[in-house]
Structure 1
Amino acid sequence: MTRAAAHSERKKAMFFPLSKLIFFVLTPSNFLILLGLLGCLLLFTEFGRGVGRILACVGFLGLLAAGLSPLSAWVLGPLENRFPAFADDERPVAGIVVLGGAVEADTSIGRNQITVNDAGEREIALADLARRFPQARLVFSGGAGSLREDAVSEAEIVSRYADTLGVPRNRLILEQQSRNTHENAVFSARMVQPKPGERWLLVTSAWHMPRAVGCFRRAGFDVTAYPVDYRTNWPRDATRFASFASDGLGELDIGVKEWIGLIAYKLAGYTEAVIPSP
């Protein structure tokens, strides 16, 4: 292995755990809790009480504002609206790539049934598109996405419960090694070797579509966006307050993490633009 190749491999190996740490700290709900906790600790010191009161108030009021205000819609809206919903123009579809991120692998194993999270529309789209395009190749790209070495991949779970989803198991092409969106694109392109002029649909959450398309383009895999799992109803949600702070914080966490991911991927060279265009 050349020195350049070895350096590239080291960078990739560091990127995944580092991204997990950065996301944990900068996720708004975690950040505001940590800020408030630091403020509370400073209240017990002689010289930090003034700063502590400020940090504690900022942390508490920040959680309140972030959870109940329409801020999450303003953060997610531009991402979800970047690529329009797919309109079938009757052009032949050579293949469909569905990205992981919706299957809860550990819970599925423990409960002996497929378990999905809030992004479960990805699996619904997989079943629907498999029926609508019976000749298309079906790729499910999803590894474990965990730092644990013994973690079960999402692709393995989808394969086990293909009958439950109504997807013919013999049509599934499983990509099980990817841990992030960059690897989704690189490993999928390597597996299927798409031909020039072929139409491939890319299925992922609407808020995740800009980063996903950017990665696939960078990997030389031309795809057509098929966004699902919308979290906002824009522009109505632009002035709508949340009923539960947990809902608003959850959506804001997703949006902020995605914007951080877009910037990080551009800096890492995984995409050519911070916000890829349609």
Structure 2
Amino acid sequence: MFFTSSKLIYFLITPSNLFILAGLAGVVLLISSGLRRTGATLALGGTLGLLLGGLFPLSELALLPLEQRFPAYASDVPAPTGIIVLGGGIEAGVSEARDQVIVNDAGERPIYLADLARRFPQARLVFSGGSGFLGGGESEADIVSRHADAIGVPRSRLILENRSRNTRENAAFSAALIHPKPEERWLLVTSAWHMPRAVGCFREAGFRVEAFPVDYRTRGWNDALRLHAFSSDGLLQLDLAVKEWIGLAAYKLAGYIPDWFPAPDAPSPETPSPAAPSPGSASR
């Protein structure tokens, strides 16, 4: 029920959809009713929303706190026990139809699965990703398994979790599959803007992980002053950021994460700090 309702609610409150619907409703009211003031307000609000959200750096202001929450992963720490990569970077429907690996804007997730597999040849590799479609379909994990050679991942090392439909299930099903031990070190690979919610879900599942953020959408705080050349770019980023902030609030209210805005663990004296150079240098 949570999965279905979250999909429907987000469609209705996605900023770009909301701005367009407000503008259209305003025009209809201006033309066909006596509520001209209300119509004018809606039409103006929808137009301003598209303008400000598309061309001005509202999306960066919304994304930066998410992306800066967890530092990039250091390169000089001991090899981990295992690596968990979350789905979301593969267009499952198109990949299934074309029988190829088709990645989307989060394609760094499977790319870094291959990179980390090479860097840590003894680490266990877990890919967690089911089907995110309401009607089902082939899972991302199954696509990764079938096209492991194309991605550059040794198929024999892959541990696949193919039932999860959202981040909470990524964490719960991965924990049930792996049964991690307290002394083990596991890296969690997902998009930087998604890392706070993902880490929170793994903590709630009793699975301690170390963040390995990828797929940055901003270059740093200087982007807070950068205008967009194309309004579609800004609106795409704004939709993404608003979805993630709403996801954090919904997950906290549902009890899926322990904090409103999960942060890195305080480093213990005997554990190396995961601090590293600028985010872009570790993920691109």
* TM-score of the alignment, normalized to the shorter chain, above 0.5: yes
The answer on 1:123 being equivalent to 2:96 is no
The answer on 1:218 being equivalent to 2:213 is no
> 1:200-242, CA deviations, whole angstroms, 9 ceiling, x for partnerless residues?
0000000000000000000000000000000001112110000
Rounded to whole Å, the distance in 1 between the matches of 2:221 and 2:168 is 31
Give the partner amino acid of 1:190: A
The answer on 1:81 being equivalent to 2:68 is yes
Post-superposition offset of 1:130: 0.3
Q: 1:206 is matched with which residue: 192, 212, 217?
A: 192
The answer on 1:262 being equivalent to 2:255 is no
Post-superposition offset of 1:29: 0.3
Post-superposition offset of 1:90: 3.1
Rounded to whole Å, the distance in 1 between the matches of 2:149 and 2:209 is 27
> Any gaps of 5 or more consecutive residues in structure 2?
265-284
Match of 1:40 in 2: 27
Rounded to whole Å, the distance in 2 between the matches of 1:71 and 1:46 is 34
Match of 1:7 in 2: none
Post-superposition offset of 1:174: 0.6
The answer on 1:24 being equivalent to 2:11 is yes
Which SS does the other structure have where 1:43 is aligned?
helix
Taking the TM superposition and a 5 Å limit, the aligned residue runs for 1:49-198 are: 49-149=36-136, 151-198=137-184
Rounded to whole Å, the distance in 2 between the matches of 1:17 and 1:43 is 35
Give the partner amino acid of 1:275: F
Q: How many residues align?
A: 264
Rounded to whole Å, the distance in 2 between the matches of 1:84 and 1:90 is 14
Match of 1:5 in 2: none
Post-superposition offset of 1:61: 1.5
Post-superposition offset of 1:27: 1.1
Which SS does the other structure have where 2:2 is aligned?
helix
TM-score (ref. length: structure 1) = 0.93
Which SS does the other structure have where 2:33 is aligned?
coil
Rounded to whole Å, the distance in 1 between the matches of 2:254 and 2:201 is 11
> Any gaps of 5 or more consecutive residues in structure 1?
1-13
Give the partner amino acid of 1:48: L
Post-superposition offset of 1:47: 1.8
Which SS does the other structure have where 1:225 is aligned?
strand
Give the partner amino acid of 2:218: T
> 1:126-163, CA deviations, whole angstroms, 9 ceiling, x for partnerless residues?
000000111111000000011103x1101111111100
Rounded to whole Å, the distance in 2 between the matches of 1:267 and 1:41 is 37
Rounded to whole Å, the distance in 2 between the matches of 1:89 and 1:128 is 16
Rounded to whole Å, the distance in 2 between the matches of 1:192 and 1:69 is 44
Using the aligned pairs only, state the percent identity: 64
> 1:63-117, CA deviations, whole angstroms, 9 ceiling, x for partnerless residues?
0110000111000000000000000333231000000001001111222210000
Rounded to whole Å, the distance in 2 between the matches of 1:92 and 1:244 is 42
Which SS does the other structure have where 1:152 is aligned?
coil
Post-superposition offset of 1:259: 0.1
Give the partner amino acid of 2:26: G
Rounded to whole Å, the distance in 2 between the matches of 1:74 and 1:258 is 13
Give the partner amino acid of 1:43: L
Give the partner amino acid of 2:60: A
Which SS does the other structure have where 1:44 is aligned?
helix
Give the partner amino acid of 2:189: V
Give the alignment's Cα RMSD to 1 decimal: 0.9
Rounded to whole Å, the distance in 2 between the matches of 1:26 and 1:81 is 25
Post-superposition offset of 1:46: 2.9
Rounded to whole Å, the distance in 2 between the matches of 1:38 and 1:242 is 27
Rounded to whole Å, the distance in 2 between the matches of 1:112 and 1:245 is 33
Rounded to whole Å, the distance in 2 between the matches of 1:133 and 1:41 is 60
> 1:12-46, CA deviations, whole angstroms, 9 ceiling, x for partnerless residues?
xx101110111111111011111111111212333
